[in-house]
Amino acid sequence: MKNLLLLLLSVFLFSCNEKKEKYKPIQNETAQLDTIEHNGKKLMETHCYLCHSPSAKENEGRIAPPMIAIKARYLMDYDSKEDFIKAISNFVENPTEDNTKMHGAVKKFGVMPKQVFPENTVAQIADFMFDYQIEEPNWFKEHWQGHGNDDWTQPGKKVIVVEKQKTYEEIGLEYALSTKKLLGQNLMGAIQKKGTLEALAFCNIQAMPLTDSMSVKYNATIKRVSDKNRNPNNKANAEELVYIEQFKKDLVAKREPKPVTIDKGDKVHFYYPIPTNTMCLQCHGKPENIKPEVAKQILKLYPKDLAVGYGENEVRGIWSITFDKKK
């Protein structure tokens, strides 16, 4: 009996002194998101898919590598979840050519704009990417294997999405993000190919028609409005101004902004913020930081412009969307 106790004690002490094993994601394990409720999936789709869409084609709107490419590249260097999350968070906090691991992507698309995200948002996204399989374009596996990763398959647990009726908040967010994606891909594509002046021309001529086309697609009224509008048609009304101020407080407090839905009889009104990043500041930043030729063109196109003076992560305006209640 004494020998048995000594044996158990030695096993216990040995176990406590072992080095912590690195986390290895479980391959092909299934899990339902409606029971797991991992917030990182929704945050990734909200914050990342504008640029890192898994469905954008090579020459038709792809302005950055898909998220799976980022996951695959960072897993080459970081096989513990803690290090993976830290590395991605550090880059997003300070995106530069010196800090990047994806030199080919930077050469092709440029360095991502610096953005300030609500506290813990990037960590939750990276946590989800590490543990679960994320959307993967049908061309990616062959592409990645062609870069010397012959036996690569995406690690992580499979996500089973259970279809359920969307809430009004989810419907409004879908309309806002789809329109944002359409405008953003065209705008950033114009900047990448021809520079800021071309982006101004795009906004002046195409932004409103493209937004209207999404209104037709969704049978809704989709608007971008601001308390400091550039286009007079984008001036916020009294109710919209209230929510602009509310979202400003959220960003200052580094809270993840939540969409606002207002029930108005047979209609739903939806509001969601449009924050600034470093790319926005080329046309909307402090006057002294806007290039003279850009400032001159802004005043030519918009003589009564109010939409300057912004810094990073400020509320440039909001999505104001009205749609019918679903029967």
Residues 144 and 178 in one domain: no
Q: What are phi and psi of 324, to 5 degrees?
A: -70, 145
Question: Residue 318: inside a domain, yes or no?
Answer: yes
Q: What is the pLDDT of residue 322?
A: 98
Residue 195, domain member (yes or no): yes
Instruction: Please list the residues that pair with 322 across neighbouring strands.
Output: 221, 269
12 in a structural domain = no
Q: Which residue did the predictor score with more confidence, 164 or 17?
A: 164
Whether 271 is in a domain gets the answer yes
**Bigger pLDDT: 128 vs 327:** 128
| pTM attached to this predicted model | 0.74
Q: Report which of residues 37 and 38 the model is more confident about.
A: 38
Q: How many residues does the chain have?
A: 327
> Phi and psi for 7 in degrees, rounded to 5?
-65, -45
User: What is the pLDDT averaged over residues 215-235?
Assistant: 96
Output the six-digit token pair for 86: 């830290």
In angstroms, rounded to a whole number, what is the distance separating the alpha carbons of residues 262 and 255? 21
Closest to 282 in 3D by CA, of 114, 166, 97? 114
The pLDDT of residue 162 is 74
Q: Is the same domain home to 38 and 107?
A: yes
Distance CA 60, CA 183 (A): 13
pLDDT for residue 13: 35
DSSP for 242-259, written as a single string: HHHHHHHHHHHTT--PPP
Quick check: is 4 in a domain?
Answer: no
The encoded tokens of residue 145 equal 């294997």
Q: What is the CB neighbour count within 10 angstroms for residue 180?
A: 19
* CATH number for 67: 1.10.760
What's phi and psi for 177, nearest 5 deg?
-70, -35
Average of per-residue pLDDT across 148-159: 86
Q: Band the pLDDT of 58: cuts 50, 70, 90.
A: low
Residue-level pLDDT at 49: 87
200 and 111 together in one domain: no
Asked whether residue 204 falls in the same domain as residue 301, the answer is yes
Average pLDDT on 78-92 reads: 96
What integer pLDDT is reported at residue 15 of this predicted model?
36
Residue 186: give the domain boundaries: 174-324
**189 shares its domain with 266:** yes
* pLDDT of amino acid 30: 42
pLDDT in tens, 254-309: 888 899 999 999 999 999 999 998 888 999 999 999 999 999 999 999 999 999 99
When divided into structural domains, the chain yields a total of 2
Whether residue 205 is found in the same domain as residue 310: yes
User: Is position 183 within any domain?
Assistant: yes
* Percent of residues, the chain, with pLDDT higher than 90: 55
For the chain, helix, strand, coil in percent to 5 are 50, 15, 40
So what's the pLDDT on residue 59?
Answer: 55
60-64, 74-78, 144-148, 307-311: which has the minimum mean pLDDT? 60-64
What local confidence, expressed as pLDDT, does residue 60 receive? Answer: 59
Q: Is residue 143 part of a domain?
A: yes
Q: State residue 199's pLDDT score.
A: 84
Whether 296 and 263 share a structural domain: yes
Residues 194 and 146 in one domain: no
Distances (CA, A) of 149 to 21, 69, 75, 143, 268: 24, 12, 12, 9, 49
Assess whether 234 and 119 both reside in one domain: no
Round the average pLDDT of the chain to a whole number and report it: 85
- CA–CA dist 92, 76 (Å, integer): 18
